[in-house]
Amino acid sequence: MRESRAGTPTELLATWEAGLAQHGPGRALLLHRAARPAAGTDELLSVPVGEREADLLRLRRSLFGDRMQVLIECERCGEAMEFDLDAGELAPAPQGRPGPLRVESDGWEVEFRLPTVADLVAVGDAAAAGGGRAMLLDRCTVSAVRAGDPVPAGQLPAPVQQRMADAVARADAAADVTLDVRCPECGEGTRAELDIASYLWSELDAWARDLLLDVHLLAGAYGWSEPEILALSPLRRRYYLELCADG
């Protein structure tokens, strides 16, 4: 890990420790808080999904650098494909949050907003049961009118829903980082979405376990306390560990 302003080792260990008791959305929220320490929980939940992804990518770059190794299995033959991504190229330039989005089609007028992190959390369970899309549509529709009469979001026809989804994808492009990889063995193309929150969580988890092992070894060798060891720069920790190994 780089020396960075994204958090001291002690703060990041606290984030990791809290995340051990959580699952996907809870871990993503903890990581987002590490990326934006000044923001309160309500503020973090109210940002559009793409903005959260951009925040997490920025945190990832400041902690672990730009190079990301990704492992994907071919959908057809199962071949493991490993390749490098440049996080700097994935992170889109921040754009201001758009106002309400509108779709007008076949006599329908729909006003809606981008899905936020809170929306994703709310539909999480429904999504597992197959009703996620309908619930998300309902939450994000501000008003739906046909020929002057208000209509519930649940009655929007599929073509209108598709146009809404397209508008969201254009306005919040960072929400979905999709990778398209061609298998070197069988030639099949595999599409996979990069889940930056779980990717970053795995990295933080590995980093934390390595660091605690370092603490264990150095405390045993020198009798230093955990805060003393965490206060060392990574370079000095590494050097003392080498000396222990040589001894």
76 or 170: CB nearest Zn ion: 76
**181, 72 in Cβ contact below 8 A?**
yes
72 or 171: CB nearest Zn ion: 72
User: Rounded CA gap, 207 and 239, in Å?
Assistant: 18
Q: Give me the least distance between CB of 73 and Zn ion, in Å please.
A: 9
What are the φ/ψ torsions at residue 97 (nearest 5 degrees)? -70, 130
100 or 187: CB nearest Zn ion: 187
What are the φ/ψ torsions at residue 107 (nearest 5 degrees)? 85, -5
User: Among positive and negative, which fits the CA dihedral 108, 111, 112, 113?
Assistant: positive
100 or 189: CB nearest Zn ion: 189
Pair of tokens at residue 68: 């990301």
Q: Give me the least distance between CB of 91 and Zn ion, in Å please.
A: 29
Closest CA to 28 of 58, 52, 61: 52
Q: Give me the least distance between CB of 182 and Zn ion, in Å please.
A: 9
- What residue ranges in the chain does DSSP mark as E strands? 67-73, 80-86, 101-105, 108-112, 141-146, 149-150, 178-182, 189-193
Q: Give me the least distance between CB of 190 and Zn ion, in Å please.
A: 8
Q: At what angle do helices 24-35 and 196-222 cross, to 10 degrees?
A: 70
191 or 236: CB nearest Zn ion: 191
Q: Give me the least distance between CB of 80 and Zn ion, in Å please.
A: 10
End-to-end Cα spacing for the chain: 26
Interacting residues with Zn ion (CB under 5 A): 74, 76-77, 79, 183, 185-186, 188
Q: Give me the least distance between CB of 189 and Zn ion, in Å please.
A: 9
What is the distance, to the nearest Å, from the Cα of residue 39 to the centroid of all Cα atoms in its chain?
A: 17
73 or 125: CB nearest Zn ion: 73
